[in-house]
Amino acid sequence: MKIKLLSQLILILTALLVTVSQGFLFGFPRNVLRDFLQLLKERKEVRKQVKENLYIDHYHIYYYPIEYSIFEPPLKAPKKYELEEIHNNHLATLGWSNHEYKYVPESKIFSNLYDS
């Protein structure tokens, strides 16, 4: 008799615990989603009201000071011969000389193996 009452009490407590936990677990995400969508709707309405009531007469553009030297010449891109000279000088510092490439024949492209 006591075991039957004890098992019924445990069954009732388990049923209550399960229903309460289901309410918390499944109700909470639904409430959060509903609140989030409501918040988005309110923000959209506020933006719409602001756009309707917004009148821009003029803009303020701010100019920030920068350092600029009058005495230095303006930077320009080097010309082609200057680039070649810079490149050749750089190769010379690496140990490559220009005279090695003067007598290199142009490469030929053979479309057929028997044309050689």
Domain that holds residue 33: 1-59
**Helix (H/G/I), strand (E/B), else coil: 43:** helix
pLDDT at 97: 67
Question: Of the spans 31-35, 36-40, 63-67, which averages the highest pLDDT?
Answer: 36-40
User: Per residue in 59-84, pLDDT tens?
Assistant: 677 777 777 778 887 778 888 888 88
Give the chain's domain count: 1
Q: Give how far the C-alpha of residue 75 lies from the chain's centroid of Cα atoms, to the nearest Å.
A: 33
Whether 73 is in a domain gets the answer: no
**pLDDT classification of 36: cutoffs 50, 70, 90:** confident
Query: Structure pTM?
Result: 0.26
Q: Are 91 and 81 in contact (CB under 8 A)?
A: no
Whether 32 is in a domain gets the answer: yes
Q: Are 86 and 78 in contact (CB under 8 A)?
A: yes
pLDDT at 49: 74
Q: Which amino acid is at 106?
A: E
